[in-house]
Amino acid sequence: MRAVFLTELGEIEVELDDKRAPATVKNFLRYVKAKAYDGGTFYRTVTTEPDNQPDKTIKINVIQGGAREGFKAFPPIALERTSKTGLKHKDGVLSMARDTPDSATEAIFICVGDQPELDFGGKRNPDGQGFAAFGKVVRGMEVVKKIHKSHADGQALTPKIAIKKVVQKP
């Protein structure tokens, strides 16, 4: 199953792994069905060149986005750890953003390059639990890279990159 992010810079098509990360895919699709991402944005770029994470010893490269302003998030979901799913944060992988374990709601990120420190046991997050990978970009990685290199004030994309809508494909 697939979904397409229609952004102001082009389309990003992702293949969702509902076999290995069923709860995370189900969570993402409930936001898609609720049209939460329609009018949302990619609002964050985390880069190593230039380095916009001076306070971090473990550096990553990702773009992050989410639902439109004012959308009331559904309750958080349990973290599907990469140690259980077997999915890894490789180039183009789609994952759920979170603060603490079991706190993910609607925010997503896409890896630019391999990011093993985001997997279970990785050191980017002090708790070592990693993030819930649940899909991968199959078309539009050039759009992801364009967003990643867009102008930012620190990690905040300025301006934010509009997500016109996200649609599910069979």
Tell me, what's the pLDDT at 42? 98
CATH code at 67? 2.40.100.10
Domain residues for the domain of 128 are: 2-169
Of 60, 24, 65, 61, which is closest to residue 44 (Cα–Cα)? 65
How many domains does the structure of the chain reveal? 1
Taking alpha carbons only, the member of 17, 36, 18, 68 closest to residue 167 is: 36
What is the rounded average pLDDT of the residues 18-33? 98
Could you tell me what percent of the chain has a pLDDT over 70?
Answer: 100
pLDDT at 62 over 90: yes
pLDDT band (50, 70, 90) for residue 95: very high
Q: Would the pLDDT of 77 be above 90?
A: yes
- What's the pTM? 0.98
**pLDDT-based confidence at 10, cuts 50/70/90?**
very high
Does the pLDDT value for residue 139 go beyond 90?
yes
Q: How far apart are CA 79 and CA 23, in angstroms?
A: 9
